[in-house]
Amino acid sequence: MNTYLVKLGVVVVLFLVSSAVVAKDKEQDKGQCKASEKISVKVTKAEKENTPAKAKKVKRLLADVNKDLELEYSAVIQYIDHAAVVRGAASRDIIKELKIHANEEVQHAMILADQIGLLGGSPSVKVGKIHTSKDNGEMLQWDIDGEEDAIRRYTVRAEQAEKLKEFALAQQLRNILATEQEHVMDLKKLKLALGK
């Protein structure tokens, strides 16, 4: 069952990511000249600041952000699974919230993949661990635990990016971090409504 869910989830995530990339590419084609000028300036600045020590730290940062990306993929799959199997009186509200969270996690994955590419890396296509359950309270706790882990990771990751003067990445990570904090609050409210 878990293997099937992982494969289904990967297909869903890849479809959503590829659809968003096609839409983004169409938008970028319109302003390609201006964007290429900005990119060439950024590359020049990066080359001036690039040292072997910084390159090693950026490589470590890319590996860490790729791990975060894998966990975003798994969060999408986990939310989709939980929304599909939740039952009971409060299920309508829970399903609605879990689907919103799944869509936001897809957005996070696309942001991370873009940032990895901009830093010269290759986005991972691996999926992190997925937790499933048939108990609503246990499902919500798995989701809370995942979000709290993301908050810890993104806090560290934003600091890493700041130290390396990768300010665009740091800002994107802070934006994701804020959304993850909102997810924890939403999930805790849902769990409290269940009386668990």
pLDDT for residue 35: 44
Question: Residue 9 class from Cβ within 10 Å (0-12 exposed, 13-18 middle, 19+ buried)?
Answer: buried
HEC string for the chain: CHHHHHHHHHHHHHHHHHHHHHHHHHHHHHCHHHHHHHHHHHHHHHHHHCCHHHHHHHHHHHHHHHHHHHHHHHHHHHHHHHHHHCCCCCHHHHHHHHHHHHHHHHHHHHHHHHHHHHCCCCCCCCCCCCCCCCCHHHHHHHHHHHHHHHHHHHHHHHHHHHHCCCHHHHHHHHHHHHHHHHHHHHHHHHHHHHCC
Query: For the whole model, what pTM was predicted?
Result: 0.76
What confidence score (pLDDT) does residue 182 get?
A: 98
pLDDT of residue 52: 87
Amino acid 29: pLDDT: 52
Q: Domain coordinates of the chain in residue numbers? A: 2-21+54-194
Cβ neighbours for 156, distance < 8 A, ≥ 6 positions apart? 64
d(CA 113, CA 128): 15
Q: How far apart are the first and last CA of the chain?
A: 27
Quote the distance between the C-alpha of residue 104 and its chain's center.
Answer: 8
Write down the CATH number for the domain with range 2-21+54-194. 1.20.1260.10
Give the pLDDT score at 5: 52
pLDDT at 41: 44
Rg value, the chain, Cα: 18
The tens-digit pLDDT sequence of the chain (196 residues) is 555 555 555 555 555 555 555 445 555 554 454 444 444 444 544 455 668 888 999 999 999 999 999 999 999 999 999 999 999 888 999 999 999 999 999 999 999 999 999 999 999 999 999 999 999 999 999 999 999 999 999 999 999 999 999 999 999 999 999 999 999 999 999 999 888 6
CA 184, CA 64: separation in Å to the nearest integer? 22
Which pLDDT score is estimated for 148?
Answer: 98
